[in-house]
Amino acid sequence: MSETISALNNAGYSGLVRIDETGLQGMITLRGDLSLTTVKKVATTASGATFPGQRQITVSDTGALAWMSPDELLILCPYEEVSDRLAKMTKTLGNTNALAVDVSDARAIFAISGEDARDVMAKLCPVDLHPEVFKPGEIRRTRLAQIAAAIWMEDDDNFRLICFRSVAQYAYDVLKVAAAAGSAAGFHAAQDPV
């Protein structure tokens, strides 16, 4: 069988922050009525994480569960386990009016890490990234310059970003520009109490 590789095959860049395309990541999108017990159960079982509130992402040892819209969830899991988990999900869902689809190969995922990560992301996304407003555990679907993206924070210096695979090169390039050496904005650092 042919070898599967991610969009940019683990490309990385060091500037103001470290930018990495983190390689193959299993992703399952689940659409349905999120108030249904079956849908909730399927999502939490498949991801191992607790059910997230509005605009939240919850993390487990083997995956994560993200709220994407009022009727959509995203389940993150190891790439190799997608088909197994998906099969179980489809079985449990049965006749429930919901849809679970493997979107791993349709997306690309980046890690943006470093002290200036908030500044770098704020250059590209129209999101209030003030430490008191945007915290780890929250996910935002927004724009990254000209493309759609979803961003969340793993911890205070680490962002994760998901975009469509077809625009992965654009996302990587625009992130590199925002993180170019000498382009520090120092905006969020200046907000911190000394």
Partner 1 sequence: MLLIHCPYCEETLPEAEFAHAGQAHVVRPENPSAQSDEEWENFLFIRSNVKGPHYERWRHVHGCGRFFNAVRDTVSDRFLTTYKAGAPRPDLETLTGEVK
Binding residues for partner 1, per CB under 8 A?
54-55, 68-70, 72, 126, 140-143, 148
Q: How near is the Cβ of 154 to partner 1 at its closest, in Å?
A: 21
Q: Which is nearer to partner 1, 70 or 193 (CB)?
A: 70
HSE value, Cβ hemisphere, 13 Å, CA-based, for 145: 14
Q: Which two tokens stand for residue 166?
A: 């077809």
Q: Which is nearer to partner 1, 70 or 186 (CB)?
A: 70
Q: How near is the Cβ of 140 to partner 1 at its closest, in Å?
A: 8
Sort 156 into a burial class: Cβ within 10 Å, 0-12 / 13-18 / 19+: exposed
Whose tokens are 């970003």? That residue is: 161
Q: Which is nearer to partner 1, 106 or 148 (CB)?
A: 148
- Residue 100 — left, alpha, or beta (φ > 0 → left; ψ -120 to 50 → alpha)? beta
Q: How near is the Cβ of 78 to partner 1 at its closest, in Å?
A: 27
Q: Which is nearer to partner 1, 140 or 188 (CB)?
A: 140
